Structure 1
């Protein structure tokens, strides 16, 4: 199964551009308000604070682009940000039989995927992905696919 929200990259770029333009316009309006008009008083700080808060929320909710591929004998996960230099992209590929368990954490507006895989050195390794920008259907499909792989792995371990 393949899952990707890469087609929404232009939407996320647009949102990013609008937020930066709002911050620039708010900063300009703040300086005009403070130096020339002086109508709002202390509330003029909201002209900068609100766009800044929206930008922080946009980036705190995680990397925007998530790709998953379970076709073949390997699982492939990719997670990257719309702005390439902001965060290092994650790219992991490992055989299906190494998947031990997974967990999807849903906090307010942030969703995370935690994957536990078997490792020669440490026993288990925990991989973390940010999936906040997936739709409910995409999230259900991801959960279904990972459940299928973990169920198959448990059956194969029981037969050994």
Structure 2
């Protein structure tokens, strides 16, 4: 009888969840979003399983202080359509940051998650706040630093 290595698959009820806080002050939008998406998926854990939600919760504070590089502040455009004729609405990154900065980060992170029910479930674990305060102190979140290259 051969010794075969069994592949480990995480079970949904065995996943231990942690909470992480990312301070977005003077951080680049794409770097913060990529790190948050990685944690939401659970790719930082050794028991990562692609079809199971093994990820942790992510809190992003100071969403209004995030930045983009180059001319993206003027050229990056967010579009949506109501479905009716003439229903195309567009706004630049700068306009979106003035109205709703937390939605800009949510849009960037959710674009890096899978486009299925698992991705939507992972997106629910993202919490974004404009100021430095958040109501999740009881969960004892760990501070997470984004390394600059």
Scaled by the length of structure 1, what TM-score is found? 0.22
Larger Rg: 1
Bigger fraction of residues in strand:
1
Which fold has the larger relative contact order, with Cα–Cα distance below 8 Å and residues 6 or more apart in sequence?
Answer: 2
